[in-house]
């Protein structure tokens, strides 16, 4: 699935791991021309895992932190909280993003497989971080070789990938993500 519309809604992992790899600017460049947003809950999750990454996200000019306290969003949050099991701080970032997407549209950038499945089952557009990088290659924003270097930097930050180091291109071609 390719991004729906021009708005991308970023969850914690792509922001956290890109910032930890000192590649947050590269992530922003990959999506140049698209509207990128996240929520305060996601920023707080990033900060709970890595304070410097939180500061980097807040200072990144390419992404905005959206307001999620309207009545309409709070109602949607309640429904998504049940769907995703957001309890005691768990899944709150994903829940705010799903509520925002339901109300305002856009493509969720989620890597958590369970959350992705729930979001898709309820009609939301979803893309994973590596799929987003493959999309950038297809649009000519990055070469596959350049994207592979970026992707190979991410596991050192703790990010799990669906392929081994050096496997981005073959994985993306197998999934028919490169065109």
Tens of pLDDT, residues 15-30: 999 999 999 999 999 9
The model's pTM is 0.93
Instruction: For 40-178, list the strands marked E by DSSP.
Output: 63-66, 107-109, 125-127
* DSSP string of 10-68, one letter each residue: E-HHHHHHHHHTT-HHHHHHHTTTSEEEEEHHHHHHHHHH-HHHHHHHHH-TTEEEEP-
The pLDDT assigned to 2 comes to: 43
Q: Considering only CA atoms, which of 86, 89, 74 is closest in space to residue 119? A: 86
For the ranges 21-25, 41-45, 86-90, 155-159, which has the lowest average pLDDT? 86-90
Give me 113's structure tokens: 């497989």
Cβ pair 41, 84 in contact under 8 A: no
Is the pLDDT score of 47 beyond 80? yes
Dmax of the chain from CA atoms?
46
* CA atoms of 97 and 85, how far apart (whole Å): 14
- Taken in order of first residue, the domains within the chain and their CATH numbers are 1-179 (3.40.50.1010)
Tens of pLDDT, residues 105-139: 999 999 999 999 999 999 999 999 999 999 999 99
Tens of pLDDT, residues 133-166: 999 999 998 899 999 999 999 999 999 999 999 9
Is the pLDDT score of 3 beyond 70? no
């Amino acid at each position: 699935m390719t991004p729906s519309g021009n708005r991308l809604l970023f969850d914690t992992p792509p922001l956290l791991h890109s910032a930890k790899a000192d590649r947050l600017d590269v992530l922003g460049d990959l999506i140049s021309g698209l509207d990128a947003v996240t929520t305060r809950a996601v920023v707080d999750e990033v900060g709970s895992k890595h304070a410097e990454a939180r500061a980097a996200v807040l200072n990144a000019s390419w992404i905005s932190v959206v307001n999620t306290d309207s009545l309409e969003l709070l109602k949607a949050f309640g429904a998504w909280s049940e769907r995703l099991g957001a309890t005691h701080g768990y899944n709150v970032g994903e829940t705010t993003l799903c509520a925002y997407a339901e109300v305002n549209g856009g493509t969720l950038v989620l890597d958590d497989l369970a959350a992705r499945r729930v979001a898709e089952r309820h009609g939301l557009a979803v893309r994973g971080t590596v799929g987003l990088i493959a999309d950038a290659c297809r649009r000519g924003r990055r070469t596959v070789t350049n994207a592979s270097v970026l992707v190979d930097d991410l596991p050192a930050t703790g990010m799990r990938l669906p392929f081994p180091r050096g496997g981005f291109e073959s994985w993306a071609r197998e999934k028919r993500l490169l065109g």
